Amino acid sequence: MILYRYWQALALASAISAGVVHAQGAAPVADTAATTAAPLPAEAFATLPFLQAPALSPDGTRVALRMAIKGEQRFAIIRLDGASNPVMINPGPNDLNSWAWVNNDWLVATIGTTAPVEGDSWYLRRTIGISADGKKINVLGKDVAAQGADDILWIARDGSPHIRLALQTSIYRDAAGFWPEVRDFDVTNGHSVQVQPPRTTVMDWYADGTGTVRSGLAYDDDARSYRLLYRDSAAQPFRTLVKAKGKDADLGNTPAMFLPEPGKALSISDADDVTALYPLDLATLKTGPKLFGVPGYDIDGIITDDSGTRLVGVNYTDTRPRTHWIDPALADIQTKLDAAVGTRTARIVSWSKDFQVLIVHVGGPDRPGAYYVYRQAEGVMHMMAMVNEALGLKAYGPVRTVKYKARDGLEISAVLTLPRGKDPKNLPLILLPHGGPFARDDESWDWWTQFLASRGYAVLQPNYRGSSGYGTAFTKKGRGQWGLAMQDDLTDAVKWAADSGLADAKRVCIVGGSYGGYAAFRGAQRDGAVYRCAVSFAGVSDMPAMLRYDGSFLNGGRSKDYLREQAPDLKAVSPLYGAAQFSMPILIMHGKKDTVVPVKQSRDMAAKLKAAGKPYIYIEQPLGDHHFTRQADRLEFLKAMEAFLKEHNPA
């Protein structure tokens, strides 16, 4: 890990005064739109976000964030008053997964990297303490940590530099240290004391707002059995609250947040099909009246105050991500921000301990937007930086949610992005299914879709059955339907687009990544009458091989159960075994360093297509991963896809 200062890093602190937005009931700020002249080059859309996940220090004077410098990601700590140069940390070969402030002088971050362990390749996870001036980095538990050492259960909020961390101390399952223990760490020097010893089969511990370890989730992979352990205080032994067994095991109502009152918690439950927030009695595991929910949509999670004991908001997604603020002051600020930004969206993403300083993202599904600093005493937002300077603050392809009926009558939502300035009739169409498949698309900025729209394509992203966010019943409709009804939902989306006059049914290409890449493979194999071409990034082609790969990990029995349920015959829905049925050109791309879907999935598919004499292009990215964390890989992908589409489905 290289520590250095980047003296010319756009001087972010001095850029705070570059733009101002009033948020005290003033008229909406003027909107801008991209022109319909020549589209911007692929480089503009491939640019990594300049800032990501900014986090304010408790006193609101510094911000920690991920920053892109010359196409590579860095971790930065910046003083908002510009009193010192930004501190820049190069994570090197490590993934920088998360970060949080411990106090005004120290942070913690979680990192991960793939490394050889006993002749195999393992993903090792660690937690590091970082001084705010960037002069010290301490690896916590470096002398004892085994594979997993990044589960931060609690951060002290009294100003002391302490966290409680669950970590494994052995890689051997027959050793006590294979099961995580919980230690209290001083992040300034790495010293620690054990506060909870390991317990066989417990891989996950949970702490309350005081740092007391209150519950643990035990899982026996051989028996497929679960137990939820609980105690009211550190002085009590754990007792089993509830048990469940089998591949469909459900522990029912479990705590999402411990309340200060003894035996009380909050629970996120799907009692009404979609998840909502309820009070929970830990003695009976019964919920009280619903506290918050959104008809037809699951909630995403809860937001607590600095102490971790008071609920201040609930995140949810309907057509786009939103926050329902329970704290009256934050609700009032949100109302003012919404009035100030007009048709754009304003999201409060971080705040100081006293909520007097906030960081707000202003953007929308048609623009990457910018981050602003808002101080309550001023009532004004000062621009911190644009997310993508090459694209600026302009609006690009308009985005909206549409609904269509699948062939069996199921209503499905989809996100539609259109080329700006074009009549939405008889357009060439890109059908872009999301990954997961337990995930969903919404009206958020998406560099893939906006790039394609800039090239003249309508882009349709169906939230097919099995997608998340629409309730338990909708998710379960995807069970056993990989490559079957889930694939039918995609072709039914194309039919809707053509029947509505939006798309030219003769000019449709299917494009996707991860599960979406699988759907592209499957579409090329079985739906020759629907698509002219296909593009798969990091796609699954061989389900039985994927079952073996996922099953080799810790508690892999659950993964095997899940994959076995995705189709009656995994081999029958695996495109690898149907290469002779491919009826269209396909572009295949995959990163060699992908740890989610092994590159072998695409290598083998390309080899089978070659043997079958089918038209394909295979591009392997030597440093590429599953998430396009490198700008060079993004750019190569966009350019290859653009050239491929221009030849096989020109706009």
In this prediction, residue 15 carries a pLDDT of 36
When the pLDDT of each residue in the chain is averaged and rounded to a whole number, the result is 90
Q: What is the pLDDT of residues 321-342, one digit of tens each?
A: 999 999 999 999 999 999 999 9
Residue 503 has pLDDT above 60, yes or no: yes
Nearest to residue 493, comparing CAs of 465, 521, 472? 465
Tell me the CB-side half-sphere exposure of residue 250, using CA atoms within 13 A. 7
In this prediction, residue 441 carries a pLDDT of 97
**Residue 569: C-alpha distances to residues 84, 175, 362, 495, 566 (Å):** 61, 38, 47, 27, 9
In this prediction, residue 10 carries a pLDDT of 34
Q: What mean pLDDT is predicted for residues 48-67?
A: 96
Domain span at residue 446?
Answer: 399-648
Q: Which helix (H) or strand (E) holds 452?
A: helix 447-454
Sort 370 into a burial class: Cβ within 10 Å, 0-12 / 13-18 / 19+. Answer: buried
Q: What mean pLDDT is predicted for residues 260-289?
A: 93
**Strand 106-117 to 120-131 pairing:** antiparallel
Q: How far apart are CA 268 and CA 11, in angstroms?
A: 43
Percent of residues, the chain, with pLDDT higher than 70 = 91
Q: What mean pLDDT is predicted for residues 205-227?
A: 89
β-partners of residue 403 are: 413
Query: In CATH, what number is assigned to the domain containing residue 617?
Result: 3.40.50.1820
Query: Which of 219-223, 331-335, 589-593, 645-649 bottoms out in mean pLDDT, i.e. has the lowest?
Result: 219-223
Region of residue 421 (left: phi > 0; alpha: psi -120 to 50; beta: else): left
In the 8-state DSSP scheme, what is residue 628?
-
Q: What is the pLDDT of residues 5-44, one digit of tens each?
A: 222 233 333 333 334 445 544 334 445 665 556 889 999 9
Answer yes or no: is 461 within a domain: yes
Helix, strand, coil share of the chain (percent; to 5): 20, 40, 45
Tracing tokens 């961390």 back to the chain, one arrives at 165
Answer yes or no: is 555 within a domain: yes
In this prediction, residue 294 carries a pLDDT of 97
Give the distance, in angstroms, between the CA of residue 275 and the centroid of all CA atoms in the same chain: 19
Nearest to residue 617, comparing CAs of 593, 568, 584, 650? 584
Answer yes or no: is 520 within a domain: yes
Sort 556 into a burial class: Cβ within 10 Å, 0-12 / 13-18 / 19+. Answer: middle
Answer yes or no: is 519 within a domain: yes
Q: How confident is the model at residue 480 (pLDDT cuts 50, 70, 90)?
A: confident
Residue 197 has pLDDT above 70, yes or no: yes
User: Using an 8 Å Cβ cutoff, are 394 and 369 in contact?
Assistant: no
Q: Which helix (H) or strand (E) holds 412?
A: strand 411-417
Q: What mean pLDDT is predicted for residues 207-226?
A: 88
Q: What mean pLDDT is predicted for residues 278-288?
A: 92
Answer yes or no: is 536 within a domain: yes
Characterize 567-576 residue by residue with b for buried, 16 or more Cβ atoms within 10 angstroms of its Cβ, and e for exposed.
Answer: beebeebbbb
Answer yes or no: is 575 within a domain: yes
State whether residue 344 is helix, strand or coil. Answer: coil
Total domains in the chain come to 1
Q: How far apart are CA 586 and CA 184, in angstroms?
A: 53
Answer yes or no: is 212 within a domain: no
Q: What is the pLDDT of residues 547-592, one digit of tens each?
A: 776 554 455 455 666 666 776 788 999 999 999 999 999 999 999 9
Sign of CA dihedral 623, 626, 627, 633: positive
Q: How far apart are CA 629 and CA 115, in angstroms?
A: 19
Residue 454 has pLDDT above 90, yes or no: yes
Answer yes or no: is 310 within a domain: no
Q: What mean pLDDT is predicted for residues 112-136?
A: 90
